[in-house]
Amino acid sequence: MNRPWMAVAVAVSLSVMSLVPARGQANRPASPNPLRYDLLLQQGRVIDPKSNLDRIADVGIKDGKIVEVAQHLRPVDALKTIHAEGYLVMPGIIDLHGHLYASAKDAPSYAQDISLYPDPFTLRNGVTTIVDAGSSGWKNFDDFKVRVIDKSKTRVLAMINIVGEGMRGSDYENDLNDMDGGATGAFAKKHPGLIVGIKCAHFTGPEWKPYDEAVVAGNLAGIPVMVDYGARRVERPISQLFATHLRPGDIYTHMYSGLRGEQDPATGLASAPMLLARKRGIFMDVGHGNGSFYWTVANPLVRSGYIPDSISTDLHIESVNQQMKDILNVAAKFLAMGETIPQVVAQLTWNPAREIRQTQLGNLSPGAIADIAILSVEEGRFGFMDVANTRMDGHEKLQCQLTIVNGKIVWDLNGISVDPWDAKTRSIDPHLTRDWTIYYQPAFPPDRARFTTYPPIPETSK
Ligand SMILES: [Zn+2]
């Protein structure tokens, strides 16, 4: 962005803009916005699980925060009004399980090549916050932060791995000597609100050490532990993990894998340890990925009421092109199994916000961070795959129409926030658009109206 020709181009276009005020706005000061709202989202079905709200309403946003949600707010009080009739308006989605430590350095591992940069996979799906689930540890988190976190438009938070080197491959991830709860917890404490958990994953040995050290780190930093329970070992059954090793508020991911005793073999329903975990207040997370979502496990558990606390993707370079696809596809699987839209919205927003104790996110209360997803519910015939490559059919799919991060539009599928191309004037002073969108908004050139209508094509040339 520091190229001189760009600076010249911007300077020229700014001077053109100042000559061409939008109609009726000639005297409006360029900034700050004197109105009550930057953005007004009008007449969508607003679902805010935190306040138990599910009704047609307007949402007013200013300076990156929610101002209010009410039956009717006045468009004259807003710089920009977006008509959201027929759409769901909900808090931005929080995906608790991604692998984002991209920019490969060495091995094909989650700490490198298997990760992906978040923005092209998150914003278009209404995901405004994504948590990296342990791709880095305390020894390489700073590198991850510089390479990915600081450069992303998506809010990227992290659970750091109990392994100091993070997910650099099985040799590292099984190295008991690199699992130091004290060092990990002390490091996590230096990044409050950014490091929001400790991850423990992929361990194949019989020892309890990784889990217990993760809890030591979690206690030091005051954050939860998320467990991917690795290889199934008789020496460490999930009954003991849930009964004595994890704390209430810790998180068990890959809940529908069925690989470690999550399903009772006799009934097909949730096993006794899974019922105990829920009773103790251990959170259950989907973590779909490439190997952790089977219809034969998820369907009986969900239909008997064992639903997730949070729906998450386990986003990585493989899962995005296989059965997982994206978080809205995963969410639609739960609709296909009989969950309601408000249940799914809670599992995508307020529940995960509480799991990582970031309650300024995932809700629409006045003062909350203005992260918002506007979704449409598409009706039709759809198929949803599991990791065994079988399909369940469904008739509802979710599509992200518009995404807002920190009060600014970052994704607009059908251009519902912009003027028609042949409008005679801009509906807004382009100086003020930076208050509500990341998109650059050039002024209409004075003579552009000449080019918006054409004579019909003569018959002879058809
Ligand atoms: Zn994972």
Q: From ligand 1's centre to the CA of 290, what distance in Å?
A: 9
- The residues with which 129 forms a beta bridge, in sequence order, are 94, 155
Q: From ligand 1's centre to the CA of 449, what distance in Å?
A: 53
Mean pLDDT to the nearest integer, 147-156? 97
- Is residue 17's pLDDT more than 60? no
pLDDT band at 261; cut points 50, 70, 90: very high
Q: From ligand 1's centre to the CA of 108, what distance in Å?
A: 14
Q: From ligand 1's centre to the CA of 450, what distance in Å?
A: 55
Q: From ligand 1's centre to the CA of 315, what distance in Å?
A: 7
Q: From ligand 1's centre to the CA of 98, what distance in Å?
A: 6
Q: From ligand 1's centre to the CA of 205, what distance in Å?
A: 18
Mean pLDDT to the nearest integer, 126-138? 98
Query: Which tops the pLDDT comparison, 3 or 414?
Result: 414
Sign for the CA dihedral angle at 308, 310, 314, 315 comes to positive
Query: Which tops the pLDDT comparison, 80 or 429?
Result: 80
The CATH code of the domain at 91-404 is: 3.20.20.140
Average pLDDT over the chain, rounded to an integer: 91
Q: From ligand 1's centre to the CA of 222, what distance in Å?
A: 22
* CA dist 106 → 168, 201, 326, 349 (Å): 8, 20, 27, 35
Q: From ligand 1's centre to the CA of 132, what distance in Å?
A: 8
pTM for this model (two decimals): 0.91
Q: From ligand 1's centre to the CA of 201, what distance in Å?
A: 8
N-to-C CA span, the chain: 46
Residues 6+ apart with CB under 8 A from 381: 393, 395
Q: From ligand 1's centre to the CA of 228, what distance in Å?
A: 7
Q: From ligand 1's centre to the CA of 457, what distance in Å?
A: 57
Mean pLDDT to the nearest integer, 340-351? 98
CA nearest to 69, candidates 34, 93, 45: 45
